[in-house]
């Protein structure tokens, strides 16, 4: 799935209790992609790496630097997410639900990534299995995704406006 959608899904699912909570869940929803591909794109912008060639569609994964693959494995593992989520819960004595936006990112990526380009290593490092899903950039995935996000945000924002303190009904 595209990075913006991950942030929006994280925000609507786990950041509805306050503005701060929303932006934290939004950022955490982006984090798995930012911490893998974002580092590559930063290196490209700084002139430290060559950009992958998307001119003929999805580039071969072999043209992506090895560090991106390793970071992708770490940030896109549901087991790594679960370990970190439980560790933070244990350390703070309460669940930090905004962090669950990371887990949602991973779970959404499982069916929306194919073996053609960065299938999701959901059980890494224990198992190397990856589901051969559908490419998120196809209209069959993109259109329903954006439509559902638009409907959910319209519903949420309409509810928020109706429940503003001091606003007459």
Query: Which pLDDT score, from 0 to 100, does residue 162 have?
Result: 63
pLDDT at 55: 84
Measured from the Cβ of residue 167, the count of other Cβ atoms closer than 10 Å reads 8
pLDDT of residue 54: 83
CA nearest to 98, candidates 167, 1, 4, 16? 16
For residue 116, give the DSSP letter: T
Query: What pLDDT does residue 20 have?
Result: 97
Q: Which of 61, 98, 102, 97 is nearest to 79 (CA)?
A: 102
Instruction: Name the DSSP class of 94.
Output: S
How much is the pLDDT for 163?
60
pLDDT lower than 70: segments of the chain: 161-169
The b-or-e profile of 2-19 (16+ CB within 10 A means b, else e) is: ebebbbbbbbbbbbeeee
Helices 3-14 and 139-162 meet at what angle, rounded to 10? Answer: 40
């Amino acid at each position: 799935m595209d990075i913006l959608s991950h942030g929006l899904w994280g925000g609507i699912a786990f950041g509805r209790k306050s503005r701060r909570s929303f932006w934290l869940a939004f950022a955490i929803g982006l984090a798995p992609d930012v911490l893998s591909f974002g580092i590559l794109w930063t290196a490209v912008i700084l002139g430290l790496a060559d950009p992958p060639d998307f001119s003929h569609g999805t580039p071969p994964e072999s043209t992506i630097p090895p560090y991106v693959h390793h970071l992708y494995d770490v940030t896109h593992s549901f087991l790594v997410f679960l370990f970190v989520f439980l560790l933070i819960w244990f350390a703070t004595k309460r669940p930090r639900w905004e962090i669950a936006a990371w887990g949602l990112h991973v779970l959404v990526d499982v069916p929306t990534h194919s073996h053609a380009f960065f299938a999701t290593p959901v059980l890494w490092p224990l198992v190397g299995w990856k589901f051969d899903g559908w490419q998120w950039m196809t209209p069959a995935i993109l259109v329903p995704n954006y439509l559902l996000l638009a409907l959910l945000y319209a519903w949420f924002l309409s509810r928020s406006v109706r429940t503003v303190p001091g606003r007459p009904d």
